[in-house]
Chain A
Amino acid sequence: MFGCLDRKDLKKYNAYTMAEMLLVMAIIAVVMLSLPKATKKMFRMESVRSNHARYECYWENNVLKQYTVTETLGGGAVKDGPVVASTRSGYDDVCVFNPPDNTPYIILHAVGGGGGGVEVYDTLQGKETNTALAYFNKEETDLWPDWFSSSGVQNFAFTTSNSAADNYHKKVKDIKYYEADSIYNSQSVRYRPSGSAGTLKSLFFPNLPAGARLIMMPGKGGAVGSARSQTVSLSGGAGARTVVRLLYSGADLASCKSKTKTTDNDCNNGCCDLIVAEGGKGGDTLTHDGARIDSKQSVMLTGGQPRDYDISNYSSVMEKQSGFSMVLANDSDVEDLQTHVDSRAGNGGNGGNQYVTDTAGDIIYELNDYDGIIGGGMVYGTKWKTLSQEVSPNIYANSHCTHGSVSGTVWAKRRGYCIPAFSVCFIGNIKLTPGTIPGMACNDATKCASFELDFSGSTPNVIPKSGATGNYRYCQYDTTNQGISCEEKVTSGTTHHCTATAVGSQGHKCASGATPENNKVCKARAGGDGAVVILW
């Protein structure tokens, strides 16, 4: 009977069993499970963003080069280049950049060539020994070296040996007076000016016009201005401007790159200036009105570099930064990602410079604490502290000097710290005044026990008594202030030494650390070449 099968009759037919059907369904299930994995991958949209990349156009040993480095999605980079575009100089050299499609944005940095520094082949004068007392005279605080003024000393009542007598007379308590004596060797330093940096320009834009290319002409850095002696005007070479142009489809490259500046008509024809970054100026030591303008001079304290002391501004000799290095990606650990552009791109070259490093000197700063001094007796009653114990920040923090201790004998000039008490130096009703009683000395045991005054001459003669002889010298009597001044042997103050190792027979050294040629000249540098970097 059709449609009516007995269970046992099923075995008679080649039909699937339930188990077989389940097996088929299981396989189908496996297939179905795998399909979404395939289909989803098939139709998933990939990112449409172009990879980030960097293009560089730069000079390397007078050869213009271009270089492109592109990131990969999996990390790392793909580099393209370097490509030598030309070995010729000037505007014949160009880089050509074809922007990729679909860039989300473009960043363009351009810097002009830096100006060259100046050097003069001239000898240095020898080291000198000076005192810095003039700097610390309170009446001429503007003469203090900047580094000293910034040390915080000016916040205190600051006196020098010249005015200590006044302070003594005031007998002011609870106010600390500082006294500073400085003995050091100095060196007049000659250095010539550097060139100025090229102009840095940056431009952001979303995309370039369709079919347009960028052509770039980085300017060369200015040459060094050099002379055997400075008898004529001398200047470093100016850096050349860096030009970036848009070259539209159909415009002629050769014609476009040959133009010094594009006009409106040029631009209408597809050749347009986009960025013009001017070059820097060369260092300049001009002569005017027949007078010789020598290089700048500076007096430096011993041992450190002139810029540490800043009596004169040392920055004029230093290389001038264009700021272009800030846009260079040079910190990558990936070799291919590192920039090929010189870090000096657009910098103004440093000027020639020299200074001496083999002199050694002592700078002595002491604190004279007048607290509690009553009625004088300062020769023995004065308490001495080092200035560095009182002043913060440490005034030596930016120098090459190191703290030292007393070494040998150091004489510090002081005036007026011993005032003969004329008010009590009477003989009868006769007041002791200079020249009044020849041969008579004021010998007040409590105030000037260490000295005698000999009025036998026209000028009172100060005589250290026994026991003080070895500790004072050059004693004088100040008739105006009626005080005694001497140089005192300093034994309790800390002496700070600034020393440096001699370089060469005369110890001349360049700011770069190199030994100058025959101790005469440290080389100036040419300006850094211009460059262009494009990021997207």
Chain B
Amino acid sequence: MVKISSKKGFSLFEAALVMLIAAVFIVVMASVFPHKPKPKAQAEAHGRFECYYVGNSLKYRTVVQGNVGSEQTSNASDALGKYCEFVPSRFARYLIIDAVGGGSGGAGSGSVQSMGGSAGVFSSSFFATPMTSYRLYPGKGGAVDHNTDASAGGTTYVVGYKDASNRETLMEVLGGSFLGSLATSNVDDIDSCRITKTTSLEYYNCGSYPKCELINDKIEISYCRRQDVYRTVPYDFHIRPGDSEDKKLDTIGDNKCTTRTSELNKWVYRDISVWRDWKKSPVFNYGNPNPCPTDANLNDMDKPSLFTMELLMKVPDTITNAGEDSDMYTFVKAMHYGGNIVTVKPGNGGALNSAGSAGAVVVMW
């Protein structure tokens, strides 16, 4: 017979008590374990897709977690032009799209001015919900400026696709304008305006001087119409393809009396349009070939000009004879992206006698 009792063992009560205490420990530890050091956070799986021109060839390249893919050529095109097709990773939590328009061309032999071209507009956008696919259309660089509209850089487009039939233009980024040309300029390109001459007669100025301001995308001229009437006239700044250079400043009337000067970026405009509020139907003809007034007409009440105004175009410190650097070029260079996206200097204005650089798009996640 086996004697299974032992005087040296724990009693059942003792064993149960131990287990009970152990159970309490485990329960307590359940609230202690989570306070152990967290696992080190892992880095985001960042990457980027670059779309740019090398010459007339549209290229693209993908870089994921530092792994640089090979440069590919895209021959796809549609009505908007050549494009790169980009399909985001399904793991991408967001997309950042940077785009720059084409740079404008630098001055050529046919240009009155002598300076480099301006950079394309740069835009950086954040998209929290990536779409199914994207088409990226970098704008082309502007040609050498010979006082033609062709010197403006091309517009860069980014179009997103939810599906094959559901598309949306997400970005439309303008190209650069040659700052010495009204043909490709807008009010934002004007640094300042100033009235340099004005009729001294009491018919208009009431002893005060007209004032010129750049406000709300317009050139506003304020003057005394007569003693009890002060007026502010907003001048739109219209660009009309096909207009010659001296007709690029469109006023409230149809008077386009703006001429370039030999000074860098200075334009002179002589006004007659405000006579519309003085004479009901002024039809002035100053004679061919120049239909516009001269300074001599300032006090000529039969063929008057209210004032002579100078428009001084912006010449930022960043623009030189070598052309203006774009914000996109500054960015990709600073980030040490390397490759042709840096080499081609996307969006930069052209140097003297050189075309502007084409635009580019960089998608990041």
A residues near B, CB below 8 A? 1-2, 13-16, 20, 23-24, 27-28, 30-31, 34-35, 37-38, 41-42, 44-46, 48-50, 101-105, 107, 130-132, 134-135, 139-140, 142-143, 186, 193, 201-207, 209, 245-246, 248, 261, 264, 267, 272-276, 278, 281, 284, 286, 288-289, 291-299, 311-313, 315-316
Contact = CB atoms under 8 A, between A and B. Distances in A.
A267 B225 CA distance: 57
Contacts of A134: 226, 228-229
Contact of A139 (B39, B231, B280): B280
Given A202-B124, A206-B46, A274-B330, A294 B208 contact: yes
Given A41-B34, A273-B334, A204 B44 contact: no
Given A134-B228, A142-B276, A276-B318, 6 more contacts: A31-B23, A104-B94, A107-B126, A204-B98, A205-B364, A313-B222
Contact of A273 (B33, B96, B330): B330
Interface string B214-232: 0110001010111011111
A105 B96 contact: yes
B251 to A, nearest CB: 14
B154 to A, nearest CB: 22
Contacts of A132: 228
26 contacts: A13-B4, A15-B4, A24-B12, A24-B15, A24-B16, A35-B26, A42-B36, A48-B42, A102-B41, A142-B276, A193-B213, A203-B124, A203-B327, A203-B331, A204-B364, A205-B96, A248-B336, A267-B336, A281-B192, A286-B194, A289-B197, A311-B230, A312-B222, A312-B230, A312-B231, A316-B213
Nearest to B210: A293
Interface residues of B, number: 75
Contact of A312 (B6, B96, B198, B232): B232
Interface of B: 1-6, 9, 12, 15-16, 19-20, 22-23, 26-27, 29-31, 33-34, 36, 38-39, 41-44, 46, 48, 93-94, 96, 98, 124-126, 191-192, 194-198, 208-209, 211, 213, 215-216, 220, 222, 224-226, 228-232, 276-277, 280, 316-318, 327, 330-331, 333-336, 364-365
Contact of A296 (B34, B191, B192, B222): B222
A521 to B, nearest CB: 19
Nearest to B38: A46
A142 B233 CA distance: 10
Contact of A16 (B12, B94, B336): B12
- Chain A, interface SS category: mixed
Nearest to B44: A104
A29 to B, nearest CB: 10
B23 A34 contact: yes
Nearest to A241: B317
B334 A246 contact: yes
A264 to B, nearest CB: 7
A131 B52 CA distance: 64
A177 B124 CA distance: 55
A204 to B, nearest CB: 4
Contact of B39 (A38, A45, A202): A45
Given A143-B229, A289-B197, A292-B209, A204 B124 contact: yes
Contacts of B5: 13-15
A267 B198 CA distance: 51
A38 B1 contact: no
Nearest to A189: B230
A267 B333 contact: yes
B43 A284 contact: no
B333 A264 contact: yes
Contacts of B336: 209, 248, 267, 272
Contacts of A20: 12, 16
B268 to A, nearest CB: 12
8 tightest Cβ-Cβ pairs between the two chains A and B: A272-B334, A38-B30, A14-B5, A48-B41, A42-B33, A204-B96, A206-B46, A313-B232
Contacts of A296: 211, 222
A222 B172 CA distance: 33
A38 B29 contact: yes
Given A206-B364, A274-B331, A297 B230 contact: yes
Given A42-B33, A44-B34, A289 B196 contact: yes
A20 B12 CA distance: 7
Contacts of A45: 39
Given A14-B4, A34-B26, A42-B34, A316 B333 contact: no
A207 B48 CA distance: 11
